[in-house]
């Protein structure tokens, strides 16, 4: 991998991309020898919307990894299909519970890392055992995983103290396998925080080069799935452009300089209507698939955000319908009070929602504050703490995320109307990531509770314990509810067909609505706007392409988005 100092400016994107697309004369050259501005246009897919700064590292243990690292580079044992909620073998050839507490997994033969080494059972064992490090996101599998045994080069046996089917399935499709022969030579600190330059990967692409405003991937000619599954990714190169603002991206899409945009674009409905080359997954509203739940995250280590009644008042104060209509023009839906995505509607307990749910009411928010002892003693229009101290909170979202900026303004306005002094504050995306992880914030928006095979992931996101200094993937509010976490762990071990499964979900819905560790606002779309002038056959509800997430987000490749690249065709 090389870092090429081409330094194209995104604001001059048309010229930069045009240089790359003006000729296909380089098609016969070794792809790795070409610079980014020499890529043939008919072999290159240009994307944006997933990165808001230059790639910082290639560390796959860090959930903020560079675009494509999980999916184009590293891969998972299984894929998850949101349409069927089923798991499909990927790196794994098969997997089954061979005993009550033993899961046996067989790898596909012939998989090689990009350095030529075989991907074997040792890599799977090593990846699982990395979870013994507390800061690794899947650390808690070792609360119930007792041993990992290499049976032979392609077979691994996992022995558990209890069978947590939901949680184990999540590991199988959500965690990427890493090369033991590379990472085992590193210290624990290097594994957790190192840059992992020149990553050794198993996926269809490896890193070609990068710069301050873009990252290029080049296709591997020995990807295992070509022989094993008959799959071949169409683009030789993928160039992901750093996003500076939604408006800039909108202009580049309109000019045909991008093939796919995976960020919210204001006015995309009008642009699609006027430009026949542009399309979305659905031909009409809501245009996008629902991907995750956007939530207001309070830092519950700060007074009075540590009071569930104060947080409940905040939930009543926010008009999510206004955000849906004024910010998104109806292309998203307001979230259910539980925050559970539409894929899990069958699990909603309407009795619980009716008893302890919430809906927009400024007067009800004010009443809850008054009943909980929060008063406006100085007459400035805002309540103080119970000790009489002033309250003034900042609501942080990444700068340039124009939809979230507008949503933050709307929420802050609503909260002030109910007597809670909140102002919006926009920070660099990296600063928001750091603040969320370390707990150095007051209020922020987050949407990491996403589509998965089970609502267990949603409640792990809300209630995971213990709270540690670095919260990298869950419980960003740092709220402690031992009973809710115990139920979440019970849910992990309960088959979906067991009647107890729904009972647990009902109890967890009550805990979430009473405690309000996070306030669901809207269902964030799987933003995807595509241009059909160079590449066609994109995922679509009505077209001939695969019905998968049409997205470059790291979290969606293992939900089948990789098939998007294998189904693309050049426009005629």
Q: What is the pLDDT of residues 242-272, one digit of tens each?
A: 987 778 888 888 888 999 999 888 788 888 8
pLDDT for 323 = 97
What are the tokens at 14? 């048309």
CA–CA separation, 474 vs 457, rounded Å?
A: 9
Let me know if residue 193 belongs to a domain. no
What are the tokens at 548? 């998968």
List C-alpha distances in Å: 50 to 160, 263, 299, 541: 37, 7, 26, 23
pLDDT for 33 = 84
Cis amide bond preceding 511, omega within 30: no
Q: Is the pLDDT of residue 538 over 80?
A: yes
- Calculate what percentage of the chain has a pLDDT beyond 70: 94
41 and 93 belong to one structural domain: no
If we measure between CA atoms, which residue out of 341, 349, 364 comes closest to residue 295? 341
Length of the chain: 572
CB 415 within 8 Å of CB 317: yes
Average pLDDT over residues 166-175: 94
pLDDT for 56 = 81
Q: Which helix H or strand E contains 247, and what residues bound it?
A: helix 246-254
Query: How many CB atoms are located within 10 Å of the residue 187 CB?
Result: 9
Q: Is the pLDDT of residue 4 over 70?
A: no
* Least reliable range by pLDDT among 21-25, 94-98, 171-175: 21-25
Let me know if residue 196 belongs to a domain. no
If we measure between CA atoms, which residue out of 299, 483, 471 comes closest to residue 396? 299
- Calculate what percentage of the chain has a pLDDT beyond 90: 73
Question: pLDDT grade, residue 24 (50/70/90)?
Answer: low
User: What is the torsion angle, in degrees rounded to the nearest 10, for the CA atoms of residue 480, residue 483, residue 489 and residue 490?
Assistant: -170
Let me know if residue 108 belongs to a domain. yes
472 and 399 belong to one structural domain: yes
Computed over every residue of the chain, the mean pLDDT equals 91
Average pLDDT over residues 53-82: 87
Let me know if residue 505 belongs to a domain. yes
Q: Is the pLDDT of residue 225 over 60?
A: yes
Let me know if residue 564 belongs to a domain. yes
pLDDT for 5 = 29
Q: Is the pLDDT of residue 12 over 70?
A: no
Q: Is the pLDDT of residue 274 over 50?
A: yes
122 and 13 belong to one structural domain: no
Helix, strand, coil % in the chain, rounded to nearest 5: 35, 20, 45
If we measure between CA atoms, which residue out of 142, 145, 169 comes closest to residue 157? 145
* Spatial strand order in the sheet of 205-210: 2-3, 205-210, 214-219, 237-241, 44-48, 260-261, 529-531, 278-279
For the segment 119-141, what is each residue's pLDDT rounded down to a tens digit?
999 999 999 999 999 989 899 89
Q: Which helix H or strand E contains 301, and what residues bound it?
A: none
363 and 501 belong to one structural domain: yes
Tell me how many domains the chain contains: 3
Query: Model pTM?
Result: 0.81
For residue 256, the SS3 value is: coil
Sign of CA dihedral 453, 565, 279, 21: positive
Of 151, 183, 215, the position where a domain reaches its end is 183
In the block, residue with structure tokens 């590379």: 182
156 and 168 belong to one structural domain: yes
29 and 108 belong to one structural domain: no
415 and 485 belong to one structural domain: yes
Q: Which helix H or strand E contains 249, and what residues bound it?
A: helix 246-254
84 and 58 belong to one structural domain: no
Residue 167 belongs to what domain range?
78-183
Let me know if residue 443 belongs to a domain. yes
In order, the DSSP letters of 446-485 are EEEEE--S-THHHHHHHH-SS--S---SS-TT----HHHH
Query: Counting Cβ atoms within 10 Å, is residue 440 exposed (0-12), middle (13-18) or buried (19+)?
Result: exposed
Cis amide bond preceding 86, omega within 30: no
Helix runs in 337-477, H state only: 350-356, 362-371, 402-417, 429-438, 456-463
If we measure between CA atoms, which residue out of 112, 175, 116 comes closest to residue 141? 175
82 and 149 belong to one structural domain: yes
pLDDT for 284 = 85
For the segment 193-206, what is each residue's pLDDT rounded down to a tens digit?
999 999 999 999 99
13 and 82 belong to one structural domain: no
277 and 294 belong to one structural domain: no
369 and 314 belong to one structural domain: yes
Query: How many CB atoms are located within 10 Å of the residue 379 CB?
Result: 6
pLDDT for 8 = 30
- Maximum mean pLDDT: which of 29-33, 239-243, 363-367: 363-367
pLDDT for 7 = 28
What are the tokens at 60? 């796959």
CA–CA separation, 310 vs 300, rounded Å?
A: 11
For the segment 385-395, what is each residue's pLDDT rounded down to a tens digit?
999 999 999 99
For residue 270, the SS3 value is: helix
Question: pLDDT grade, residue 28 (50/70/90)?
Answer: low
Q: At what angle do helices 308-317 and 499-515 cross, to 10 degrees?
A: 90
Q: Give me the CATH number covering residue 140.
A: 3.90.76.10
If we measure between CA atoms, which residue out of 559, 508, 526 comes closest to residue 170? 559
CA–CA separation, 77 vs 98, rounded Å?
A: 18
Question: pLDDT grade, residue 82 (50/70/90)?
Answer: confident
Question: pLDDT grade, residue 97 (50/70/90)?
Answer: very high
Which residues, in sequence order, are CB contacts of 15 under 8 Å at separation 6+? none
What are the tokens at 209? 């080069």
Q: Give me the CATH number covering residue 339.
A: 3.10.105.10
Let me know if residue 448 belongs to a domain. yes
CA–CA separation, 395 vs 409, rounded Å?
A: 9
Let me know if residue 301 belongs to a domain. yes
pLDDT for 474 = 95
Q: At what angle do helices 499-515 and 482-492 cross, to 10 degrees?
A: 150
List C-alpha distances in Å: 256 to 5, 250, 422: 25, 10, 40
């Amino acid at each position: 991998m090389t870092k090429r100092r081409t330094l194209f400016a995104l604001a001059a994107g048309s010229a930069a991309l045009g240089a790359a697309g003006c000729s296909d004369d380089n098609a016969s050259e070794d792809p790795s020898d070409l610079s980014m501005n020499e890529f043939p246009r008919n072999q290159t897919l240009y994307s944006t919307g997933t990165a808001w700064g230059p790639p910082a590292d290639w560390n796959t243990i860090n959930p903020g990894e560079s675009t494509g690292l999980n999916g184009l580079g590293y891969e998972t044992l299984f894929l998850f299909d949101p349409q069927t909620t089923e798991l499909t073998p990927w790196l794994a050839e098969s997997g089954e519970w061979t005993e009550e507490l033993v899961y046996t997994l067989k790898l596909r033969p012939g998989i090689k890392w990009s350095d030529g080494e075989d991907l074997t059972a040792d890599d799977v064992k090593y990846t699982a055992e990395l979870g013994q490090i507390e800061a690794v996101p899947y650390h808690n599998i070792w609360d119930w995983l007792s041993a990992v045994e290499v049976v032979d080069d392609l077979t691994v046996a996992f022995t558990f103290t209890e069978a947590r089917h939901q949680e184990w399935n999540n590991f199988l499709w959500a965690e990427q396998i890493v090369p033991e022969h590379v990472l085992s030579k590193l210290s624990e600190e290097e594994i957790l925080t190192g840059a992992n330059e020149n990553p050794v990967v198993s996926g269809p692409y490896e890193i070609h080069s990068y710069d301050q405003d873009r990252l290029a991937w080049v296709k591997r000619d020995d990807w295992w799935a070509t022989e094993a599954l008959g799959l071949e990714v169409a683009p030789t190169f993928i160039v992901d452009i750093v996003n500076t603002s939604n408006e800039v991206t909108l202009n580049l899409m309109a000019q045909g300089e991008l093939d796919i945009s995976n960020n919210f674009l204001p006015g995309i409905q009008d642009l699609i209507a006027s430009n026949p080359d542009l399309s979305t997954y659905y031909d009409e509203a809501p245009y996008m698939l629902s991907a995750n739940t956007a939530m207001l995250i309070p830092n519950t280590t700060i007074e009075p955000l540590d009071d569930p009644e104060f947080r409940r008042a905040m939930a009543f104060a926010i008009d999510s319908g206004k955000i849906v209509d004024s910010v998104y023009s109806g292309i998203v839906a307001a979230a259910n009070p539980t925050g559970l995505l539409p894929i899990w509607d069958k699990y909603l307990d309407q009795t619980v929602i009716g008893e302890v749910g919430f809906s927009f009411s400024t007067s009800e928010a004010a009443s809850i504050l008054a009943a909980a002892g929060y008063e406006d003693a100085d007459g400035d229009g805002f309540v103080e703490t119970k000790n009489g101290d002033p309250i003034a909170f900042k609501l942080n979202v990444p700068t340039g995320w124009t939809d979230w900026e507008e949503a933050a303004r709307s929420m802050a306005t609503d909260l002030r109307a109910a007597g809670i002094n909140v102002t919006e504050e926009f920070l660099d995306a990296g600063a928001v990531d750091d603040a969320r992880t370390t707990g150095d914030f007051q209020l922020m928006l987050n949407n990491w509770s996403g589509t998965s095979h089970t609502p267990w992931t949603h409640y792990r996101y809300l209630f995971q314990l213990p709270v540690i200094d670095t919260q990298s993937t869950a419980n960003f509010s740092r709220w402690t509810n031992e009973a809710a976490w115990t139920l979440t762990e019970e849910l992990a071990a309960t088959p979906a067909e067991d009647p107890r499964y729904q009972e647990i979900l009902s109890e967890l819905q009550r805990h979430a609505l009473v405690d309000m560790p996070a306030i669901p606002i809207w269902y964030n779309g799987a933003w995807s706007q595509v241009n059909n002038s160079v590449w066609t056959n994109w995922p679509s509800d009505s077209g001939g392409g695969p019905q998968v997430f049409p997205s470059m987000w790291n979290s969606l490749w293992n939900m089948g988005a990789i098939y998007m690249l294998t189904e693309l065709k050049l426009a005629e």
